[in-house]
Each structure stands twice: as C-alpha cells, then as structure tokens.
Structure 1
Amino acid sequence: MPRASTPPASAPAAPPAAAPARTLSAPAKALQKLGLTHPVALALHLPLRYEDETRLTPLADVHAGDTAQVEGTVRECKVELRPRRQLVVRLLDEAGDELVLRFVNFYPSHQKSLAVGQVVRVRGEVRHGFFGREMVHPTFKAVVPGAPLAETLTPVYPASAQLPQSYLRKAVAAGLQRANLHEVIPPELVPPGLPLLRDALQVLHHPPPRTALAALEERTHPAWQRLKFEELLAQQLSQWQARLERAARRAPQLLDKPQAEQAHSLSQRLLTVLPFGLTAAQQRVVAEISADLGRAQPMHRLLQGDVGAGKTVVAALAATVAMGAGWQCALMAPTEILAEQHFAKLVQWLEPLGISVAWLSGSRKGKVRQAHLDAIASGQALLVVGTHAVIQADVKFARLGLAIVDEQHRFGVAQRLALRQHLSAPAPDDAGVLEPHLLMMTATPIPRTLAMTHFADLDVSTIDELPPGRTPILTKVFTDARRDDVVARVAEEIERGRQAYWVCPLIEESETLDLQNAQATHEALAAALPQVTVGLLHGRMPAAEKAAVMAEFKEGRMGLLVATTVIEVGVDVPNASLMVIEHAERFGLAQLHQLRGRVGRGAAASVCVLLHTPPLSVSGKARLKAMIETTDGFEIARRDLEIRGPGEFLGERQSGDALLRFADLHEDQALVQRAQAAAKLMWERHPHAAMAQVRRWHGGHLDYLQA
C-alpha cells in the first residue's frame, strides 16, 4: 500500500456555506440546496465527466466531429442578423488556419472577451459550416500568449443553473483539501492494488492527463474501486452493528408446549385441521422460524416466497407457536383488503382451536373498536390482525411475543421502528424490556446481492416451491388497438363460468397521464358486456363497500371486477382465470408480477393480458419482455433490480436508510463479497476502527450518502 497522504497545513477557503441566508450569493445558495455544505460532502461530489484541457490541437489537425481545444487570435467579431441574430467570431492560429465560432445566445461580455486581437483558448465540437469548419457555443477564455495549460483533466460536476462550473470547481478543490480523509480501514483488509482514500479522491477529481478515461467513466479505475469498497464496507459494518445490538436485546423464549389437557401443541393441532399438507419448503421455513422463536434474542427474519407460495399458513404456524407459549401475536398488513383476507383465513383456521382473533383498522371505530382494544389489553385476544392501526397509541398488548409484518417493503422505516418500540414490554421478572420477535414477509423475492447488502441485518427464509395444483399462467402482450378482441375474450371466459379482473392504474382523470380511469373503464365494459355483472373496486371506496364488492366477486355473483392496484396482493379467488392489465407499461415489473398472481390459483388454465399504448420506452419493453419470458418470481426480481436499480427496487423499505451511491450491486458483486468478509474481521479484530468507519459514512451531518 502507498504511504498515507498528509493534508496540507492550509487550504484555500471554500465559498461561504454557513453564513446567514440573506448574505449568500446565488452560487452559495445553490451549493446549500445541493447539500454541499461541508468539506466531506464537497470531496464526494464527483465529476460527471472530464474535459481534456491539457493540450492544444493545431487548427490544421481538427476535423468535423472532433472535440478539441484550440488557441488563436480573434481576427473578426461581429453580430450578424441573418438568418437570425448571432455573434460570429473568426479565429486565426499561428499557422494561419481559421475557425469560425458561432453564438446564437450571447451577451455583451462575450463581445468584450472576444474582441479583435485577443488571444483566446476555445474548446468544443467541430462541425462543417457554410463557411468551413466551425464550433457552435464552445467554451472559451481569454489568455495571454504562452499561458500554461492545465496539468490534469478538467472535471465537469453535477450542478444547477445558478452554480457555475468555475465556482463549483474551486469549492470542491477547497473541500477536498480540508476534508478529514485519514485512513480508517486496517491496510491488510483493503483489497490489494487500491490507493488510499484521499489519493483515490484526488485522482477522481483531477485525473492526470494519461489516465484512461474509459476506466473512469465505467467506474473500473482503482480509484473508483477504493471508493466503492469504502462504501460497501461501511454498509456491511452497519449491518453487523445492527446484528450485534439485536443480540444484546432480550425477547421472550416462545416454546409451543402442549397444555396438560391437550394431546398436541397448538401448532400441531392446526396442522391436523388444515385442508392441505405443507410443502417441503414450508416445513423447512417453519422449522427455521420456530428455532428462532425459542431463543432469548429477538428474531428478525424475512420470509420470502413467490406469489401463491403459501406464506400465510407459515405465518399462522409461527403465530400458534407464540400463542401456544402463552403470548400474543400481531399481524400487520399495508391495506385493509389484504388485512381482511388474512383475518378471514386466520379466523377460519384458528377459531375452531379456541383462539380469539381481534381486528383493527382505520375504519373500525366506536364501541366495536373499544371492545377489541379491551380484549387485546386483557390478553383475551391472542391474535390481532390489522393495518397500521395495530401500532396506534391506544393499542396496548398484555403480552406481545411475535409481530408479523406482511409486504414489509410497503411500510416505511419509521413505521417498522414504531412497531418495534411500541410493542416492547417489560419482562415478567422486571429484568428489563422484552422486545417481540419480528417476522417480515414479502412476495417480492430479494435478489442475492440485495440480501447480502441491504438485508444483511436479517435472517432470510425462502419458500422456493409452489403448492401442488397450481396451473401455469400464460402471459400475452397486446397494443391498445386490440382492446375489442380482449373484451371479446373476457366475455368468452365468463360464459364458461370463469371470472376475470380488469386492472386500471388511475381512478380519476389526470392532465399529465393520458390514462383510462377506473370509473370510465367500468362504464365502458358494463356497456360492452350487458349480460355480465361488472363490479368496481378502488382505494377511495368506504371499507364496507369494498368488502361487499369483494364478497360478491369471491362468491361468484360478479363475472368481471374492474379494479385499481388495491387487488395487487392478498386477493384469492380460485375461479378467476383471466387478468387484463391496462396501460401495463406504466406498472413496475414486481407490481405486474404481483397482479398476475391473482389468477392461476385454481385448476383452470389462466391468462394474463398486458395492454399497452405504443411507443414503449426501453425500460417498458424490458418489463413486458420479462413478463412474457418467465413466471418465476426470483427471476422477475433479478431483472427488476437490473432495470430499476436498488433505490427504486427497495421502495419504502429504505426510506431514511442509506442507499448505495457509488457501488453498483450488479457490477460490483466481487467487491460486495470482499466487503462482507472484511466487515466480519474488522468487528472481531478492530472494533474501534469499525465504529469509526460506520460514523464516517452513516453518522451525523457528515453522512457521506446524504452529500
């Protein structure tokens, strides 16, 4: 490893960033708006690209299509009015070759700097003009003859209209010199061949002339690799820190032991009354969860499985372990429809076993709600199912041992933190606070690279097989011009005694999105299919009305259900065999897969039709192509990560969390593995350095990732 760099004793002052707002210049205000208010933030504001101002090209050697820097003397500078008002400058170099500079937008300062006789240095793209070679709107500056050239490539930074590049370059250079970038990672844990952090940033901001620009632009240069490793290591260390902190907390040991008057434990009794058997994958994850619940440390486990893999029954069995041990269980879902689906299933399975189930939602109020609150507080209700209403201040549990969060990515970080804090309770022996075990479920499988990074603080259980009897779903893509054919297919399917969904993305007109809304689509389909009962379901309907519509559809009295994405998860109607998704190009890939999973839940062959309006974007084509080619949720998740990147893929799960800014999970898998191994060793051998690295990247106002 090279020797550590020593920061200069003094550095040029950065432009003011902490002065009162009324004294700030427009560029300084723009710096504040970008969050560039500290030396470290400035040091990590990396260039978008670079310009080579280290050499001059003779005018005789520049050709159309070249981007070059040239120098010459202004021979003529005049304003021409035809074909439109513009400033035309003729430049002559020492060899007598000429170049035309053309400015359609210009100011008096342009004319002053480009006065006849002035030596100027110009950089831009050369093209063929009417009077020969020319540059349109090149960058330029007046120089004295023989002025020295730049010694490094010139960075071009992400900026705004109020933030000139020259001002930003000076600010970044000052921040880079002043930032505390001393080495934190022990040298033996840094991958060989990578520079020190300060040296890496120096190269990224001011690459020497012979630096391979392709390596910089593709982020494969050793300087980029060092920065990515720093970021990935900090993330892995923070995940280790979360695990260590969790190991220090206490949770109730939940062992589902048979009661004296019972022949079997509660979970075993549930298995005997279920109308189906568990798959091998379900049995495996039930064993993993039960082992966690029997420990005195809080479980933080993610249960992932494809649409229809049978996660709900696994959650029910986990709940019986907690309740069989004499503790309460809470199950929270993001929407009332999904929560109601869980409630109906769990009541059907558990009430015959003598388990009282309480229901909480935003729509349940008054005496009925109070009766459920009393049952929860007294411990009479062993299982509580609901929406975010489960974590409201007036909900008091007698002995909560297990919290289950379904579709966890649709809850924000703050909500999950509130769940953990709100539901913790004093230990029976007054020896502190017991935290409930936490089981999170998702039907959006997590790709391996994400599991190693953003979910590394969780234990992951995977249901990787579907229950027997599932029929494969055929996916077809049509343009909106085939709409009438699709409506005819819906009519045929309903005549056969089947049912269908028609999903629309909006419920009211929008000026910005030219989409059919659900009400208009409902009216049009009801008119086109007079012999069919067509229902409407959207998120703004009262809860009782939504429940009535869903009940009519589930009982088969409604042939076609027009709905928004409120049916995305949790809706289980085995007789529904056709799904039509309108404006499919507007949906995310994971959402399309979730919606498709509402059919194919019975014995009938099922079809999902994706209607779209051309032309398709590149990502839109990729999403629809993936839907045609695979029904495997894990492959869908992998492609979704490629298309959207981790930030959008993770959605609300990471609200308030630090997303990767420099590393790319798809391209940098080898670095992820190196960082994972280094994080373990760093916590074991250098815990103070580990804490320093976490603080550097995730702590206080100098958070790298908020820069």
Structure 2
Amino acid sequence: MPRPNPSSSGPAASPARQALVKLGLTRDIDLALHLPLRYEDETRITPIKSARDGSTVQIEGEVTASEIQMRPRRQLVVTLDDGSGTCELRFFSFYPSHQKTLAVGTRVRARGEIKGGFWGRQMLHPAFRKAEGELPAALTPVYPTVAQLPQAYLRRAIASALTRVDLPETLPPGLEPPLARFDRQNGLQRPWSLREALFFLHHPAPDVALATLEDHSHPAWQRLKAEELLAQQLSQLTAKRARDRLRAPQLRAAGETALHEQLLAALPFQLTAAQRSVGEEIARDIAASRPMHRLLQGDVGSGKTVVAALAAAVCMDAGWQCALMAPTEILAEQHFAKLIGWLEPLLAARDKRVAWLAGGQKKKERAAMLEAVASGEAALVVGTHAVIQEQVRFHNLALAVVDEQHRFGVAQRLELRKKLAHLGLEPHMLMMSATPIPRTLAMTYYADLDVSTIDELPPGRTPIVTKLIADSRKDEVVERIGAQVAAGRQVYWVCPLIEESAALDLSNATATHVELSEALPGVSVGLLHSRMPAAEKKAVMEEFKSGRMGVLVSTTVIEVGVDVPNASLMVIEHAERFGLSQLHQLRGRVGRGAAASACVLLYSTGDSGRLGETARDRLKAMAETTDGFEIARRDLEIRGPGEFLGARQSGDALLRFADLATDTLLLAWARETAPRMLDGHPQLAARHVERWLGGKADYLKA
C-alpha cells in the first residue's frame, strides 16, 4: 500500500490527504490516537434463517437475481441465497460497478440491518463485497471522518501509521495509572502498556464486550484517558512553573491617601464580606513579583466589577497602567460607565484619565486614545478585543482584567499578556466569569490558576421567581407584561434568532417587536440586536435605562453587563434552545432592584408535542435553583466542558477521551503524578506532553 503522507497539502495533494490535514492528522502519532467511534463485526457470518429481525449482521450467499426496478422509484434489487434462506438487497442509489459486483452467480458478503417484511427478509443499502479471502480476526473500526475522507482510506492510513509509530513508554516504573489487565500466560495482573491499549482499540478481538468499548470503560480506554489527563496536567504545571519564574511589577497601595482607599470612601455602598476577602487575595497577588494568574468567579450580580476597580486603583496608584477587556461593546460600555463614575474624578486630580477603545470608533477619536495609552496619560484602558490589537502600544501595562473570559479565544488572552514584553515583564492577569466553574472543571482546566469566588450577593437583590410556560399561553404572558408596564416596571423579551430560519422555524426579534408593539398600544417597545450599528444600540439602551422605554425586545446581546434596576420581568422565548448557563445569565438581568422579579421561560414543544430530554432537564434545573454553581454543575453534565472554557474559539477539543464526570479517580492520579514526574523525570514528561498535545500545549497556558 502506498504510504500516505498527510503533510502533503500542496496543489498535488489528493482531497483525502487534504482532509487528513484538516482533521489535524499530520503525524503518525496523530493517526494512532484517532480512535474509532464504533465497530462493525465482520468476523462472523450469520445464516439468513437465524438472523434476528432488526439486528445488524453479515451474511454470505450467491446472487440468484439482480435487476433494476422502476416502481415505486428506480432501484437495484438483488436476491442473495445462502442455502438457509434468501434475503433481498435494495439500493436506491447505485452505480454500474454495483451491478457488476452483484451479478447473478457471484458469491457476495453483505452487512447491514436485516428486516423481515411482507416480501421476506431484506437489507436496505448494505455494505457489500465479493466473498473472497479469510474473515477478519478483529472487529472493523469505524472512525470519525469528513466527506472527502473515505473510511477505507482512513483505515489504511491509520494501519500504516501504526506500523511506523514510535510508542516508547513515557510513564516511569512505579508511576503507572491504577489499571491492570489479566495475563492468561501466568495468571497475573499486569498494567496495560500504551502500545497494547492503542493496538487493541484499533482492532479489538471479537469476543470483547462491545458495551465496554462504546462507554469507554474498557481498561484499554482507561489507559488512554489516564495518559491524556496526565499530559494536560503536566502541560499546565509546566506553564505555572514557567510563569512563576517570570517577573511582574510589584503593585502596592500607598497608605491612606491611596487611590483605592479614596475609591472605597466614595462608593455609595458597602462591600460584602466575600468582596473584601477576594479583594485582599488579589491585593496580595499583585504585590508580589510573580505574575498573578487568578480567576475571579461570582454569580450574576455578585459585584465583581467593583473588586476589579479596586485592584485597578492599586495598580494605577503604583504608577502603572491597567486594561479591562470585555467580549461585547455593550458590556465594555457598561464597565466604562461604572469605572468613569467611580474613578474619573479621582484620576483627574492626578492628571490621568480612563480611555475607551472599541472597533466602531471614529479615526480621530481612536488616534487620540492610542496616543493617551502610549504616553501613559490613560491609566485605565477599557474596551473590547480592540484593546489587544497590534497598533495598541501601552506605556507600562501591569494589570490586565478580562471579563467573561470564557467568551474570548485563548489566542486573544495570550496576545494581551504580550503587551508588557518590551520591558521584559509579564502583566498580572485577572480573569472574571459570571459562569461559575464546577470544582472538577477548575481542578482540570484551571490547575495552573488560583480561583477566587464571591459566594454572596449584595444586600437588596430580590429573589427571582422562575416560571415555565408553554408558548401556547403566550397571550397570558403579554397580558402580564401590560400589567407590569402599567405599574411603572420594565420588561425584557429575549429572542434566540435575528433572522427567520426555515430549519428552526423560530420567530425572529423583528417579528416579535412588531407583534408586541401591536399587542401593547401606548407602550414604547424597543428592539436591540447584534447587527445594529453601535450608535443605534447605544441609543436604544439609553432609552431603556432612562425608563422611557417599557419593553425591550432583544437577542442575547443583553446577556451580560446590562444593569437596569427597574426591570422586573424577563421573558425568554424558545428557552429550550438556550444553554443552561446562558439562561442563568439572562435571568440575572432582573432582580437588580427592590421590586419582586420574575423570569418566564417560554418553551415550544414543536410538532411532536413533547420537549426533548435535554431541553426538559435544562428548563427543570432553571425552575429548581437560582444557585449559579448548581446551574454550572448541571450544565457541565448536559453540555460538557468546552462551552465554559473557550474551546470553540481556540479550535481545539479540550479532552478527547477522558470524561470529567466519570474519570475523577484518573484525574486525581494525574494531578498527583504530574509534579512527581516533572521533578524526577523531566525528559519523559516533555516527551509525554509532545506526544499528546504537540503544538496545542500553548492553548493550556492562557
């Protein structure tokens, strides 16, 4: 067989080779670690007579009839006889080569789901080939693939890579994971090697329990999961130790005249105990010469912004710059407005200012801001991803605050950290999230991060009642909105789409805006969506914040950062389409004032009249708890870790094989083993990370 060269992606490369590159299968080890989704059993022949209806089997027999029928549609119908009975093979899509292989008198093997019907036994579109050669001795793997990459090509490429791949053990004796296999020769238990586990999973013996392969509980799978978790822990521990060797500015407050003391005195509210505790943790971190790498998490409305403002005040007081980056212009503007109100009067006395940087700025305004940032006149820079663009040169950035960090790509966070490289230093990093991270996730993906948690809400936040209502009762909800507006309250109505989609058949924000405007005469109903120009968005938000607008119809652009205390009702249309954490974020936009607040989750059951199981679990969780940590735990169970961590933005699956919900023992082993391996066997550790992560190791450092 010609040896595939996946790295040949030039003009002459075949579509299959290009597809290998697209899947990231460029090294022999990548191909070896590309494991089957499922398996087909081609190791045995089942007599047609004894095949169970609905089972997937392989049969072998002689073609006794083969013809093209035109009714009810053009199809190739082939009859196979194995002596015990006959089975009809039907193909609605076929080529002349099919007819040639399936000619009368040919002996054929066919594999597919067998069904009994009025016309006897049949298979629709089975896999087939001439009955030649021995039956395979192992199950046939079915790999994850893409359209341009046929299974046959992928199987050959992987089989070829397995003959070449170098798989020396990287785990030193005594540090193997707590897994074993039975050795029939001497009746002893001994650990699986990586080579044995990989070769077994690509070609398992036919007597293996398929269920243990499919649910990844088989010891061979466990060995791979243990190695993957260890690679990830090693990578993060290496990153943490490397960061600990870097130097950052030491930021200390200057006594009672300090900016942060002045800010505390000027605030119109008292800090909660949790805010004070977290603030002290951050102050200790930024006073050290080692770069801070801290995640500040707290539920919606717990007061993370003021904690960040106090840290920024310490930074600016020490003569350094601070940057705050948020994922959307609305959220960045919300922070900007708060920080201007709190800090601008205090900074003005020191001839410093707060700068604003966003994508939609006019050229002249942007140039002035860039100049203020470069000269150091702007002590605090607030904005969107515009803050990390190449032309933004900081005078001396010492603290970078990233809000809703999971919504930024990892590469973007790495860019922000480079902004102090010209001084040979690293800025302190404070990442904020209102999506609380479940403990198992923090243990795994934030092994190199210190985590601070604000676990109490400020006084005055009213409890939010959550109600699930079918969209067939929408009229009642609209009546409730009318009553709320008449009582002087304001309402959010959130739609999941901007434009009509035939596939999802969801009402769009524009149609809902028209509908509510007609149903609520005399009420000012506004519309906000992501395609609107920035100035228009700003004007709509100002109308709503001022109280002149009673109802705001919006897409999820209001998910984070919008703070309107008078808003007491949130209606989320097609709630079954949203993720749990997103629903929780949206719900947090109400209950910010003294009025009793409610969140209505309007759901659609579609044509079936029933909600799907996942959607039902999500909505049930929302109705049962307002605890962000419990919501996050359930969301992790339902959706997996990628959504929390910016995995989509980095383009990398965070864990391919291990499962945080079920592999806690392996995770504990990996956490314990990583420092022992780095200290005692650094070269093996480096080889292990390179084998498993290759160039992806950088993404775990951000």
**Compared with structure 1, are the counterparts of its residues 78 and 657 closer, same or farther at alpha carbon in structure 2 (3 Å cutoff)?**
closer
Does residue 45 of structure 1 match 2:34? Answer: yes
Alignment partner, residue 430 of structure 1? none
8 Å contact kept, 2:36–2:202: yes
Task: Give secondary structure in 1 for the equivalent of 2:665.
Answer: helix
Mapped contact 1:357–1:385 kept (Cα < 8 A): no
Q: Which moved more, 1:533-542 or 1:216-225?
A: 533-542
Query: Is residue 415 of structure 1 aligned with residue 412 of structure 2?
Result: yes
Q: Distance in 1 between matches of 2:240 and 2:699?
A: 22
C-alpha distance in 2, partners of 1:387/1:169? 46
Map Cα deviations across residues 302-330 of structure 1 (whole Å, 9 max, x no partner): 10110001101111111122123232222
Q: Which residue does 2:46 correspond to in 1? A: 57
Q: CA deviation at 1:652?
A: 5.8
Q: Tell me: CA distance 1:161–1:247, structure 2 relative to 1, closer, same or farther (3 Å).
A: closer
**AA in 2 matched with 1:548:** A
1:411 CA drift (Å): 2.0
Kept after mapping to 2: 8 A contact 1:64/1:127:
yes
Larger deviation: 19-28 or 53-62? 19-28
CA distance in 2, matches of 1:162, 1:369: 46
Counterparts of residues 112-131 of structure 1 (less than 5 Å)? 112-131=100-119
Q: Out of 391-400 and 623-632, give the one that drifted further.
A: 391-400
Q: 1:471 to 1:97 in 2, by over 3 A?
A: same
Please list every run of 5 or more consecutive structure 2 residues that lacks an aligned counterpart in the other structure: 181-190
Asked if 1:250 is matched to 2:247, the reply is yes
Find the counterpart in structure 1 of residue 601 from structure 2. Answer: 610
Greater shift, 17-26 or 592-601, is seen at 17-26
Match of 2:495 among 500, 504, 522: 504
Q: 1:645 — aligned with what?
A: 640
| Structure 1, 584-593 or 574-583: larger mean CA deviation | 584-593
Match of 2:120 among 132, 139, 160: 132
Of stretches 483-492 and 118-127 in structure 1, the one that deviates more from structure 2 is: 118-127
TM-score normalised to structure 1 length:
0.89
CA distance in 2, matches of 1:372, 1:26: 48
Q: Tell whether the 8 Å contact from 1:640 to 1:649 is kept in structure 2 after alignment.
A: no
Give the secondary structure class of the aligned counterpart of 2:323.
strand
TM-fit CA distance, 1:163? 4.3
Task: Establish whether residue 270 from structure 1 lines up as the match of residue 263 from structure 2.
Answer: yes
2:647 corresponds to 1:655? no
Q: Distance in 1 between matches of 2:387 and 2:522?
A: 43
* Structure 1 segment 135-214 matched on structure 2, within 5 A: 135-143=123-131, 148-160=134-146, 162-192=148-178, 193=180, 194-214=191-211
Q: Which residue of 2 aligns with 1:329?
A: 322
Quick check: 461-470 or 389-398, which moved more?
389-398
Q: 2:522 aligns to what SS in structure 1?
A: coil
Q: Are residue 446 (structure 1) and residue 437 (structure 2) matched?
A: yes
- Name the CA shift for 1:72/1:312 in 2 (closer, same or farther; >3 Å): same
After TM superposition, give the deviation of residue 559 of structure 1 in Å: 1.9
Q: CA deviation at 1:107?
A: 4.0
TM-score, normalising length: structure 2: 0.89
Residues 343-422 of structure 1 mapped to structure 2, 5 A cutoff: 343-354=336-347, 356-362=352-358, 363-365=360-362, 368-422=365-419
Work out whether 1:306 is the aligned partner of 2:302. Answer: no
Distance 1:425 1:33 in 2: 36
Counterpart residue identity of residue 298, structure 1? P
Contact in 2 for aligned 1:411/1:652 (Cα 8 Å): no
Distance 1:397 1:651, change over 3 A: closer
Deviation at 1:369, TM superposition (A): 4.5
- After superposition, the C-alpha distances for 1:481-522 in whole angstroms (9 at most, x for unaligned) are 222211111110111121111222344445555333333333
In structure 2, C-alpha distance between the alignment counterparts of 1:524 and 1:223, rounded to whole Å: 58
1: distance between equivalents of 2:198 and 2:440?
Answer: 26
- Residue deviations 1:26-78, cap 9 Å, x none? 65555455444432222222222222232333444333234333333444445
| % same residue | 64
For the pair 1:221 / 2:218, whether they are aligned, the reply is: yes
Q: CA deviation at 1:164?
A: 4.2
| C-alpha RMSD of matched pairs (Å) | 2.8
- Conservation of the 8 A alpha-carbon contact between 1:336 and 1:361: no
Q: Where does 1:686-701 land on structure 2 (aligned, <5 Å)?
A: 686-700=681-695
The alpha-carbon deviation at position 270 of structure 1 amounts to 2.4
How far apart in 1 are the matches of 2:491 and 2:685? Answer: 55
Cα separation, partners in 2 of 1:679 and 1:124, compared to 1, 3 Å: same
What displacement does 1:119 show? 3.6
Counterpart amino acid of residue 53 in structure 1 = E
Report SS of the residue matched to 2:277.
Answer: helix
Residue equivalent to 1:7: none
**Partner-residue secondary structure (3-state), 1:434:** coil
Please identify, of 376-385 and 305-314, the stretch whose mean Cα deviation from structure 2 is larger.
376-385
Map of 2:183 onto structure 1: none
Shift of 1:667: 2.2
Q: Residues of 1 paired with 2:138 and 2:662: CA distance?
A: 28
Equivalent of 1:674, from 669, 674, 678? 669
Letter in 2 for 1:266: L
Rounded Cα–Cα distance in structure 1 between residues aligned with 2:420 and 2:5:
46
Deviation sequence 1:76-110 (CA, Å, 0-9, x none) = 445555565554444444xx422223223444444
CA shift, 1:370, in A, is 4.6
Please tell me whether the aligned partners of residues 100 and 135 of structure 1 are also in contact (alpha carbons under 8 angstroms).
Answer: yes
Aligned to 1:4: none
Query: Which residue of the other structure, out of 90, 94, 97, is the alignment partner of 2:84?
Result: 97
Q: Which amino acid aligns with 1:582?
A: E
CA contact (8 A) 1:397 1:423 kept: yes
Whether 1:624 and 2:619 are equivalent positions in the alignment is yes
After superposition, the Cα gap between the structure-2 partners of 1:143 and 1:399, relative to the gap in structure 1 and judged at 3 Å, is closer
Q: Which moved more, 1:578-587 or 1:110-119?
A: 110-119
SS in 2 for 1:195: coil
SS of structure 2 residue aligned to 1:313: helix
The letter of the residue matching 1:57 is T
SS at match of 1:453: helix
Q: Tell me by how many angstroms 1:608 deviates.
A: 0.9
| Preserved CA contact (<8 Å) 2:396 2:420 | no
Structure 1 residue 601 displacement after superposition:
0.7
Q: Provide Cα deviations, 1:627-668, integer angstroms capped at 9, x if missing partner.
A: 212211111112222222222343367515552111122222
2:591 to 600, 618, 632: 600
CA displacement 1:272-301 (0-9 Å, x = unmatched):
332222222112211111110111011111
Q: Distance in 1 between matches of 2:492 and 2:594?
A: 17
Picking from 256, 274, 292, the partner of 1:281 is: 274
> Is 1:482 aligned to residue 473 of structure 2?
yes
Farther-moved stretch of structure 1 (83-92 vs 458-467): 83-92
Q: What CA distance in whole angstroms lies between the structure 1 residues aligned with 2:697 and 2:627?
A: 42
Residues of 2 paired with 1:704 and 1:514: CA distance? 37
Say if 1:399 and 1:425, in contact at 8 Å, map to a contact too: no
Say if 1:160 and 1:101 are closer, same or farther in 2 by CA, change over 3 A. Answer: farther
Contact 1:122 1:139 in 2 (8 A): yes
Which sections of structure 1, spanning at least 5 residues, go unmatched?
1-11, 427-432
Q: Residues 143-194 of structure 1, C-alpha deviation per residue, up to 9 Å, x if partnerless?
A: 36xx533211222223455544334322221111111222112132221314
Q: What secondary structure, in the 3-state scheme, does the structure 2 residue paired with 1:189 have? A: coil
Decide which moves more: 174-183 or 199-208. 174-183
